[in-house]
Amino acid sequence: MASYKAPLRDMRFVYNELFDYSEISSLPGYEDATPDLVDAIIEEAAKVCENELFPINRSGDEEGCTFENGVVRTPKGFKEAYRAYVEGGWGGLTSDPKYGGQGMPSSIHVMVEEMMCSANLSFGIYPGLTYGAYQSLHAHGTDELKDLYLPKMVSGEWSGTMCLTEPHCGTDLGLLRSKAVPNDDGSWKISGTKIFISSGEHDLTDNIIHLVLARAEGSPKGVKGISLFVVPKFIPKDDGTPGPRNGVSCGSIEHKMGIKASATCVMNFEDAQGWLVGEMNKGMSHMFTMMNNERLAVGVQGLGLAESSYQAAVEYARERLQGRSLTGAKNPDAGADPILVHPDIRRTLLNIRAFTEGARATAMWVARGLDLRKKHPDEGLRTEADDFIQLMTPMVKALFTDFGFDATNAGMQVFGGSGYIRETGVEQYVRDARIAQIYEGTNGIQALDMVGRKMPAHFGRYLRRFFHPVQAFIEEHAEDESMADFVMPLAKAFGRLQRATGYLAEKGMKNPDEAGAAASEYLRLFGLVAMAYIWARAAKVAMAKTDGEEAGFYQAKLGTARHYMERILPQSSGLFSSIMAGSKTMMSFADDAF
């Protein structure tokens, strides 16, 4: 029953109007990224997502992946869709042209990613992991390894994985037990068991390239003894075609709450041949090259599913006739009014929309940072962009997936009883969205990363990349009465964030539990302020255009901005109070009393 149309108009607003696209298209290598080309790309991506991926989303959930004798089969239609995806060149959108990629900016990629997540998250995970593996290999592999693997990974002929987690260690990778023993030829023998490996085994590609964390013989204990290896399922022959089977196999697949069409595998490495990627014992930092990108991508998953849920809920709210408007019948010829007339339904829909549109713009803001960091000729600006990305990554991952999950639930709620029925298709969004709060580092870990690493880094330098533009915007518009409804709430919430930051910086220095206790609430407060700033900027752009040709679009933008300020941002006051309450109560609670 659910349907999906890519929100192209809003994507154009964000790319062309809210931000200055010429800052991207003036970067060396991104000259093509003009509005025209962007239009062509996102329109084409929308077709793939709407027509190829969305139609196999629910059937993929019902069927799931199957495992038999070490072979994993994806649900009906996935192979064909994947072939179409590869033929369209989507796997290499932002990849290095040297290896066959199209070298497009992340600002474009982020829009395509959102559509993929909206249409079929399970499907999107396969190329998503390939891209992650591509990035680590591209950044740290030797030319020989890169020449061997990257062209096939960029084209999508081969897929990739990230093999980190083991049964006894996920967050705390220092405990890992997978071993690497050197061979005579410079390669390594990798042994160990990895769990929760997305796309570890499947039937979409001829080869699967695993990036594996393992401890080389003689390396130190803990995280400082972990190295990164590339371990192909089939060892490539000299002509680049898949050769002999390597000692890696899938032991089983997980039965999960959602993303059932994404194969989550137990992978057994038994003297599998692997090659070192980057430096010995630097595996953690090499892996994090892709983890940061993955975390942004996971944030976008929350956004994508929220958008699908919103669209389904709006459609239902227009069609479902039930009850009468509180202020008199709006649809007197029928037996009842559409439920869209009810304030509580409108509030629910606007809550979701204030998140999706705000998150879309915020994601673009961060993606622009990726582009600047990669391509800007000025090193100082590249460093600034990196600071900004470091700071925003945990916020985007955690806030977008928490809000995204809530949004899928809110959309489902609009359906009443029908929403709980699988055939309706919206409860799947909830189940699929749930994983994004967990993988690539739970949201609690993101919050700790923010307060423990990002906040204190370089004496608060990262924070300034965010605080300064917000402060400047507030000051610039302090006297602008037309903007008061947006700037005043922003300023108030920003003040709370500044005070909370000062408090945590001081207390956390003395007692790290103080920072830990407040971490999740601080991250959310930070995220609420970030989206408030983005919404205030969007309101300013929209305000100038509410009388023009597309008045409806801009009025809706302004209305949604207002809704954000009135009904979402006020949460900042409670969060502030909770942060300031400190850690004492939770830390003094007796362990055995839990």
Question: In the complex, what is the shortest distance from the CB of residue 181 to its own copies, in angstroms, rounded to a whole number?
Answer: 22
Q: Provide the 3-class DSSP secondary structure of residue 377.
A: coil
C-beta closer to its own copies: residue 430 or 497: 430
> Which residue type sits at 376?
H
Query: Does residue 382 interact with its own copies by CB under 8 A?
Result: no
C-beta closer to its own copies: residue 53 or 412: 412
Query: Does residue 422 interact with its own copies by CB under 8 A?
Result: yes
For residues 561-580, which are near its own copies according to CB under 8 A? 562-563, 566-567, 570-575, 577-578
Question: In the complex, what is the shortest distance from the CB of residue 32 to its own copies, in angstroms, rounded to a whole number?
Answer: 33
Residue 305's contacts (CB-CB under 8 Å, 6 or more residues apart) are 117, 118, 121, 404, 407, 408, 429, 432, 433, 436
Q: Single out the residue of 356, 387, 357, 355 nearest to residue 369, CA to CA.
A: 387
Residue spans of alpha helices (H) in 335-378: 343-375
For residues 499-558, which are near its own copies according to CB under 8 A? 511-513, 515-517, 519-521, 552-553, 555-556
d(CA 468, CA 490): 14
Active-site option among 52, 440, 514, 521? 440
d(CA 153, CA 60): 24
For residues 207-266, which are near its own copies according to CB under 8 A? 254-258
Question: In the complex, what is the shortest distance from the CB of residue 41 to its own copies, in angstroms, rounded to a whole number?
Answer: 26
Q: Provide the 3-class DSSP secondary structure of residue 252.
A: strand
C-beta closer to its own copies: residue 52 or 294: 294
C-beta closer to its own copies: residue 321 or 472: 321
From residue 306 to residue 335, the character string flagging contacts with its own copies as x (rule: CB under 8 A) and all else as - is --------x--xx--xxx--xx-------x
> Which residue type sits at 31?
E
Residue among 329, 381, 472, 587 that touches its own copies (CB under 8 A)? 587
For residues 451-480, which are near its own copies according to CB under 8 A? 452
Residue among 110, 430, 474, 536 that touches its own copies (CB under 8 A)? 430
d(CA 492, CA 565): 11
For residues 46-65, which are near its own copies according to CB under 8 A? none
Q: Provide the 3-class DSSP secondary structure of residue 322.
A: coil
C-beta closer to its own copies: residue 27 or 433: 433
HEC secondary structure over 509-571: HHCHHHHHHHHHHHHHHHHHHHHHHHHHHHHHHHHCCCCCCCHHHHHHHHHHHHHHHHHHCCH
Residue among 78, 126, 439, 466 that touches its own copies (CB under 8 A)? 439
Question: In the complex, what is the shortest distance from the CB of residue 416 to its own copies, in angstroms, rounded to a whole number?
Answer: 5
C-beta closer to its own copies: residue 303 or 517: 517
d(CA 531, CA 493): 11
For residues 338-357, which are near its own copies according to CB under 8 A? 340, 342-350, 353
C-beta closer to its own copies: residue 29 or 220: 220
Residue among 333, 379, 547, 589 that touches its own copies (CB under 8 A)? 589
Residue among 437, 486, 494, 497 that touches its own copies (CB under 8 A)? 437
C-beta closer to its own copies: residue 131 or 415: 415
Question: In the complex, what is the shortest distance from the CB of residue 469 to its own copies, in angstroms, rounded to a whole number?
Answer: 25
Q: Single out the residue of 273, 282, 287 nearest to residue 180, CA to CA.
A: 273
Question: In the complex, what is the shortest distance from the CB of residue 573 to its own copies, in angstroms, rounded to a whole number?
Answer: 4
Q: Single out the residue of 87, 89, 65, 95 nearest to residue 78, CA to CA.
A: 65
d(CA 197, CA 209): 12
Is 440 labeled as catalytic in the residue annotation?
A: yes
Q: Provide the 3-class DSSP secondary structure of residue 96.
A: coil
d(CA 125, CA 259): 9
Angle CA 134–140–146, to nearest 5: 55
C-beta closer to its own copies: residue 182 or 335: 335
Question: In the complex, what is the shortest distance from the CB of residue 582 to its own copies, in angstroms, rounded to a whole number?
Answer: 8
Residue among 435, 470, 487, 530 that touches its own copies (CB under 8 A)? 435
Residue among 29, 220, 416, 502 that touches its own copies (CB under 8 A)? 416
Residue 35's contacts (CB-CB under 8 Å, 6 or more residues apart) are 12, 15, 16, 21
Using CB under 8 A, count the residues that bind its own copies. Answer: 99
For residues 69-128, which are near its own copies according to CB under 8 A? none
Q: How many CB atoms sit inside 10 A of residue 375's CB? A: 17
For residues 159-188, which are near its own copies according to CB under 8 A? 165, 168-172, 175
d(CA 62, CA 44): 28
Q: Scanning the structure block, which residue is given the tokens 């929403």?
A: 419
Question: In the complex, what is the shortest distance from the CB of residue 325 to its own copies, in angstroms, rounded to a whole number?
Answer: 8
Residues annotated catalytic, as ranges? 440
